[in-house]
Chain A
Amino acid sequence: GAGVSQSPSNKVTEKGKDVELRCDPISGHTALYWYRQSLGQGLEFLIYFQGNSAPDKSGLPSDRFSAERTGGSVSTLTIQRTQQEDSAVYLCASSFFRTELFFGSGTQLSVL
């Protein structure tokens, strides 16, 4: 089937605006992750959903960031009142229990 799908692939927004990033995981995958990758930086963990368990939100950098996963499938990452330092590639990944993470192609967010 299809891999992990993210939309939009690119998003340009003005400082102070809200943005929503979408992730469609691989069907049947129980775990879903959001990571942020800034230029020259590693993969910064943001949030992790595993089945019906409470999400691990320990990586969210501020209360402007939130995420939800509806029906155990699609996830939306919302950034409110965007700042220039939020500019990065936002990567979503899914996995089935202990198997490997499959990454989407990411959303390049640019905050002007």
Chain B
Amino acid sequence: GENVEQHPSTLSVQEGDSAVIKCTYSDSASNYFPWYKQELGKRPQLIIDIRSNVGEKKDQRIAVTLNKTAKHFSLHITETQPEDSAVYFCAASITRGGANSKLTFGKGITLSVRP
């Protein structure tokens, strides 16, 4: 089955700097890659996703890039703010016929933004 790994496990950046979180996946058939953010004591929420037919997607300060050949994708956060501090999970699944297969998550990365 699919195996999703995240590196590093923790990341600390200065407010205003950029943060990059990387994930690798094992199943070349995976074609849907979302990122979820989980703030302390709260439930995970989708922040951005990308499908395999595009290489990059941006939404304000966040962007995701996908390298299908290398089977890795990355989350980029620019101009980080203290409220970006959270655990970030990447995930992968296979979408066929309009429905997703199970979504496999990585172990998460704890991002700390120092004021």
Contacts and interface: CB of A to CB of B under 8 A. Distances in A.
Nearest to A91: B43
Nearest to B4: A42
Given A42-B89, A58-B1, A97-B98, A33 B103 contact: yes
Given A42-B89, A45-B104, A45-B105, A100 B99 contact: no
B100 A98 contact: yes
Nearest to A106: B43
A42 B107 contact: yes
A107 to B, nearest CB: 12
B57 interface: no
Q: Is the interface of B mostly helix, strand, loop or mixed?
A: strand
A41 B107 contact: yes
A42 B106 contact: yes
B108 A42 contact: yes
A50 B100 CA distance: 9
23 contacts: A41-B107, A41-B108, A42-B105, A42-B108, A43-B44, A44-B105, A45-B102, A45-B105, A48-B101, A50-B99, A58-B102, A91-B44, A97-B98, A97-B99, A97-B100, A98-B100, A100-B34, A101-B34, A101-B44, A101-B46, A103-B44, A104-B43, A105-B43
Interface of B: 1, 32, 34, 36, 43-46, 49, 89, 91, 95, 98-108
Given A35-B105, A41-B108, A48-B101, 19 more contacts: A41-B107, A42-B105, A42-B107, A42-B108, A43-B91, A43-B108, A45-B103, A58-B102, A97-B98, A97-B100, A98-B32, A98-B95, A98-B98, A98-B99, A98-B100, A100-B34, A101-B34, A101-B44, A103-B43
